[in-house]
Structure 1
């Protein structure tokens, strides 16, 4: 049982950092694609959504090739700064971020596209700057959709398995997250540990889905 709590704490760290990164990047990219039209926009949207449908092990392999010592990013970081990403907590965060990103990006873009342009234009007519329009009009109207995506992204990052295992491995107390710990416990015949980890993960996922349901536009409109 004692091995369950380090895995839970590590998973919470990974999911929190990954969610924060997805919030910043997903909201920014979602706003950009919702607001501006340019050649290749649909292709970018497709590529950014790809982690949602790509097998996690395949995605993990791509990350392993990219972030490894012989990869473009990993090799440069190693040669320039001596930074290692593979089999580290940072590697686990990157894997979880990539996997959870579409779940934050897509709702954020949809939320921004649902904002009435006339309200934004009215704010501009009143002399509010573009930054002011975003913070005072667009974001307050889109925040429910963004938050719903963030909650889904957190749940996805918390339960990430395939890509994390490929990139970060399974080092107890260092990179062994909840889902990986469940796999290891089952393999080792530790049913009590596996049952506890599965229960914790299930409770968190149910709570997140209930929260997302409360934030759904249909639920809000009926109040």
Structure 2
């Protein structure tokens, strides 16, 4: 196993950070690593907003479900799907012609581009001795977050990312057995139930260790509970209002 694979396999989310600032150069290097990620047709349909101002982080923390680490981390990166540059390019070079920057396909492309770049950035940060945690809660009150950050039409915050020096060493969270996610030469649904049952036992043991015996809910039950509750049902209308998925 080489150092890169070891780093990837050792990933854990960090939610407690030391009171130690990051330099501008560190942030720019991390984002540069993100920019080196693959991008569909080289469209690079994302933007990153680096938030360091305490008041702004405090507001974003509140909008993200009062997650304290959004405020306490030295840098909060907001990764945005961004089709606004493509729209400007299309109108510049194809004036008066119908274009499709707001298509559902381009929404997918921009969202995937943002995710690929962010994961590159996450690994770069971890290679520098930093820790990260993704914040999907930025979508809890996404219209307010978008206004606060001043993002234009055809841009939306996909997720946030806290970055800083770790002040904790959480144990690794087990992933699904590889047999549940790796299929050879076609999708094999026959093993899913058996592998989920196996993973339920693994996660129950993990939760007992992590909580000192206070919790041991199986993974499948946690997922059932999650899906039984509506979550961010405002996203479809918000995206349409921003010009996404209109074609």
The two structures have a TM-score, normalised by structure 1, of 0.26
Relative contact order higher in (CA < 8 Å, ≥ 6 apart): 1
Bigger helix share: 1
| Structure with more strand by fraction | 2
Q: Give the TM-score, by structure 2 length.
A: 0.25
